[in-house]
């Protein structure tokens, strides 16, 4: 059923936003650090029009679900929480947001670490900006989207995903300093392309998950080390004075920031791949956000010829691996999946160059 069949009118505007895959710089954004995401081809689209009554109506094509709320309602659950959060935050900034109909459709896979929620937030905000002529720019959209995620969906996230969804393209990496929001677009290492494979183990990051716990640990580590954020430390030895597990959490963040900075310094593609492999080990051993299925998938990828490097991407606790592979070699995915499935898992290719 399309917008017209659901709402009985045609939409007035539409907007889209992509998911993202992060190449390096994981769990660094809420430590004021550095990240290196790139947009993926999969996008979320919202169509919008004014509502005929006083309620907001949100419809998800994938879930075949309608959620109707008033502006004073409690936050709804699920996909509607992100949309509702964006509307409430705009209203808190003083914008008058009339009751609307909003129809969502998306090809961004959910629960695999490719930022389906940021894509929904950014598409919603861009749709509202265009419907209501709001004077907000793409960075403000990312900032409001991040707050929607934190205040209405319960994930105490950083700003990487929303910045990537709002500003990144699918052909170049977005290097972002999450403290200053200074950014640069950079080409992928020459001769390389990206392959993303889902482990088949879904992640669930929000309230109660290890994600928010990791953020608390990092803030505690920064406090004990006397810095504003772990970004302010560059020597991993400094973390050794911390108690367990804070020393390993801090070591991951410090070494990961160093890896991003090295990655953008004009290194070879093989060194870039080594940094990705080291990032995976650090996420697995120091940050403890991987799971056995993802470790097995990363291991197979790392042992496959034509793969320069591979690592868990996104928030972790399940999800997908990103690999940097030699250009034109995405057919290796067949053999990777065969080996992975032989271990009893069920993976699938999510992103591969054509």
Which residue is catalytic, options 29, 161, 198, 286?
161
Stretch that binds ligand GLA, among 26-34, 46-54, 193-201, 319-327 (CB under 6 A): 26-34
Task: Name residue 65's beta-bridge partners.
Answer: 60
Q: How far is the CB of 314 from ligand GLA (least distance, A)?
A: 5
Q: Which residues contact 173 (CB under 8 A, 6 or more apart)?
A: 23, 36, 37, 38, 185, 186, 187, 188
* 100, 120, 157, 250: residue in contact with ligand GLA (rule CB under 6 A): 157
27 binds ligand GLA, rule: CB under 6 A: yes
256 binds ligand GLA, rule: CB under 6 A: no
Stretch that binds ligand GLA, among 69-77, 91-99, 156-164, 279-287 (CB under 6 A): 156-164
Instruction: Report helix, strand or coil for 321.
Output: strand
- Give how many residues touch ligand GLA by CB under 6 A: 10
Instruction: Report helix, strand or coil for 164.
Output: helix
161 is catalytic: yes
Stretch that binds ligand GLA, among 24-32, 70-78, 187-195, 271-279 (CB under 6 A): 24-32
The Cα 118–Cα 100 span in angstroms is 20
Helix or strand (DSSP H, E) at 37: strand 37-50
The Cα 251–Cα 234 span in angstroms is 10
Residue 48 or 246 with smaller CB distance to ligand GLA: 246
Give the number of other Cβ atoms within 10 Å of residue 6's Cβ. Answer: 15
The Cα 20–Cα 168 span in angstroms is 8
For residue 289 the two structure tokens come to: 């956000």
Binding letters toward ligand GLA, positions 289-328, x by CB under 6 A? -------------------------xx-------------
158 binds ligand GLA, rule: CB under 6 A: yes
Q: How far is the CB of 324 from ligand GLA (least distance, A)?
A: 17
Q: What are the C-alpha distances in Å from 124 to residues 85, 104, 127, 352?
A: 10, 9, 5, 27
128 binds ligand GLA, rule: CB under 6 A: no
152 binds ligand GLA, rule: CB under 6 A: no
30 binds ligand GLA, rule: CB under 6 A: yes
Q: Which residues contact 333 (CB under 8 A, 6 or more apart)?
A: 195, 197, 349, 352
Site residues (CB under 6 A) for ligand GLA? 26-27, 29-30, 157-158, 160-161, 314-315
Catalytic residues: 161
């Amino acid at each position: 059923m399309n917008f017209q069949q659901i709402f009985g009118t045609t939409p007035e505007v539409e907007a889209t936003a992509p998911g993202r895959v992060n190449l390096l710089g994981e769990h660094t954004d809420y430590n004021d650090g550095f990240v290196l995401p790139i947009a993926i081809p999969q996008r979320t689209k919202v169509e919008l029009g004014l509502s005929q009554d006083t309620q907001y109506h949100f419809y998800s094509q994938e879930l075949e679900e309608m959620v109707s709320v008033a502006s004073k309602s409690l936050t709804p659950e699920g996909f509607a929480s992100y949309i509702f959060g964006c509307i409430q935050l705009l209203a808190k900034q003083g914008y008058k947001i009339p009751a609307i109909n909003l129809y969502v459709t998306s090809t961004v896979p959910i629960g695999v670490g490719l930022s389906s929620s940021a894509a929904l937030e950014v598409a919603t905000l861009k749709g509202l900006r265009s419907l209501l002529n709001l004077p907000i720019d793409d960075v403000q959209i990312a900032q409001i989207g991040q707050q929607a995620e934190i205040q209405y969906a319960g994930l105490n996230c950083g700003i990487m995903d929303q910045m990537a969804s709002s500003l990144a393209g699918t052909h170049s990496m977005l290097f972002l300093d999450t403290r200053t929001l200074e950014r640069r677009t950079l080409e992928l290492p020459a001769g390389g392309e990206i392959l993303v494979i889902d482990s088949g183990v879904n992640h669930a990051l929000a309230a109660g998950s290890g994600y928010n716990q990791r953020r608390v640990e990092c803030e505690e580590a920064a406090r004990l080390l006397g810095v504003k954020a772990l970004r302010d430390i560059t020597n991993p030895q400094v973390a050794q004075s911390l108690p367990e597990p804070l020393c390993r959490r801090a070591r991951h963040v410090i070494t990961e920031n160093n890896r991003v900075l090295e990655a953008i310094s004009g290194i070879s593609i093989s060194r870039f791949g080594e940094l990705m492999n080291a990032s995976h080990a650090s996420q697995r051993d120091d940050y403890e956000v991987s799971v056995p299925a993802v470790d097995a998938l990363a291991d197979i990828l790392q042992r496959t010829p034509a793969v320069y490097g591979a690592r868990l991407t996104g928030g972790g606790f399940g999800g997908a691996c990103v690999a940097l592979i030699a250009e034109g070699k995405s057919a290796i995915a067949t053999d990777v999946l065969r080996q992975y499935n032989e271990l009893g898992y069920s993976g699938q290719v999510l992103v591969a160059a054509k």
